[in-house]
Structure 1
Amino acid sequence: MIREYAKLNKLLFNNSVDQPIEPLTQKPEVVRTSESNGVRKRRFAELKILQAEGHSIKGIAGRLGMHRQTVKKYMEMQALSRRSHGERKMLEQYFPYINRRMEEAPALYLKTLWNELKQLGYQGAYTTLSEALIYYDIRIGKKASKSKFPQRTGSFFKPSQAAMLFIAAKDKLGRIQLKMIDDLRSKSDELRKTYALAEAFRQMMTNKLGDQLKHWIDRARASGIREMAAFATGLLTDYQAIRNAMSLHWSNGPVEGNVNKLKTIKRQMYGRAGFDLLKKRLVLAPS
Structure 2
Amino acid sequence: MLRLVHGMTLPSIGPLRAVGIDDGAIRKGQTYGTLIVDLDRRRPIDLLPDRTSPTVAAWLRRHPGITVITRDRSSEYARAATLGAPAALQVADRWHLLLNLRQALERWLTRVHGRLRCLPSLPIGDGRRPGQRLCTYRRSEAEIAVSRDSRARRLVAYEDVRRRSQAGETLLAIARATGLARGTVRKYAQAESFPERAARRPEPSHLDPHLAHPEERMTQGGENAMELWRELRGRGFAGTHRQVHRFVAERRTRPARRTARKWLVRTSSPAADTIALPSPKQLAWFLTQPVEARPPHATAAIGRIEQDPEAARFGALAQLFATLIRSCCVDGTPPADPAGELDIWLDAARLSDIPALKTFAAGLERDGAAVRAALTTSWSNGQAEGQISRVKMLKRTMYGRAGFPLLRRRVLLAA
Say which of 377, 382, 395 aligns to 1:248: 377
Partner letter of residue 133 of structure 1? A
Closer, same or farther in 2 for the Cα pair 1:88/1:274, shift >3 Å? closer
Cα offset for 1:178?
2.6
Checking the alignment, whether the CA contact within 8 Å between 2:277 and 2:301 is kept in structure 1 is no
Does 1:130 find its partner at 2:246? yes
Does 1:195 find its partner at 2:315? yes
Closer, same or farther in 2 for the Cα pair 1:220/1:88, shift >3 Å? same
Where do residues 16-165 of structure 1 align in structure 2 (5 Å cutoff)? 16=123, 46-47=130-131, 61=133, 64-67=134-137, 71-75=205-209, 80=213, 87=224, 130-136=246-252, 140=271, 155-160=275-280, 161-165=282-286
Structure 2 CA distance for aligned equivalents of residues 262 and 70 of structure 1: 35
Closer, same or farther in 2 for the Cα pair 1:88/1:171, shift >3 Å? same
Cα offset for 1:71?
2.8
Checking the alignment, whether the CA contact within 8 Å between 1:66 and 1:134 is kept in structure 2 is no
Q: Counting strand residues as a fraction of each chain, which structure ranks higher?
A: 2
**Could you tell me which residue of structure 1 aligns to residue 290 of structure 2?**
169
**Could you tell me which residue of structure 2 aligns to residue 52 of structure 1?**
none
Structure 2 CA distance for aligned equivalents of residues 217 and 231 of structure 1: 10
Partner letter of residue 120 of structure 2? L
Cα offset for 1:259?
5.7
Worse-matched range after superposition: 242-251 or 176-185: 176-185
Checking the alignment, whether the CA contact within 8 Å between 2:130 and 2:212 is kept in structure 1 is no
**Could you tell me which residue of structure 2 aligns to residue 213 of structure 1?**
342
Say which of 342, 346, 354 aligns to 1:225: 354
Structure 1 CA distance for aligned equivalents of residues 352 and 289 of structure 2: 21
Closer, same or farther in 2 for the Cα pair 1:225/1:85, shift >3 Å? closer
In structure 1, the gaps of 5 or more residues are 19-42, 48-59, 90-124, 146-154
In structure 2, the gaps of 5 or more residues are 1-108, 138-201, 227-240, 254-268, 329-333
Checking the alignment, whether the CA contact within 8 Å between 1:12 and 1:183 is kept in structure 2 is yes
Structure 2 CA distance for aligned equivalents of residues 70 and 254 of structure 1: 37
Checking the alignment, whether the CA contact within 8 Å between 2:287 and 2:315 is kept in structure 1 is yes
What count of residue pairs does the alignment treat as equivalent? 196
Taking every aligned residue pair, what percent have the same amino acid on both sides?
21
Q: Counting helix residues as a fraction of each chain, which structure ranks higher?
A: 1
Structure 2 CA distance for aligned equivalents of residues 11 and 262 of structure 1: 47
Cα offset for 1:228?
0.7
Cα offset for 1:170?
1.2
Does 1:204 find its partner at 2:324? yes
Cα offset for 1:268?
4.1
Higher relative contact order (CA 8 A, sep 6+): 2
Structure 2 CA distance for aligned equivalents of residues 7 and 79 of structure 1: 34
Structure 2 CA distance for aligned equivalents of residues 229 and 66 of structure 1: 38
Checking the alignment, whether the CA contact within 8 Å between 1:70 and 1:131 is kept in structure 2 is no
Structure 1 CA distance for aligned equivalents of residues 377 and 371 of structure 2: 10
Cα offset for 1:221?
1.6
- Give me the CA root mean square deviation: 4.6
| SS of residue in 2 equivalent to 1:166 | helix
Cα offset for 1:229?
0.7
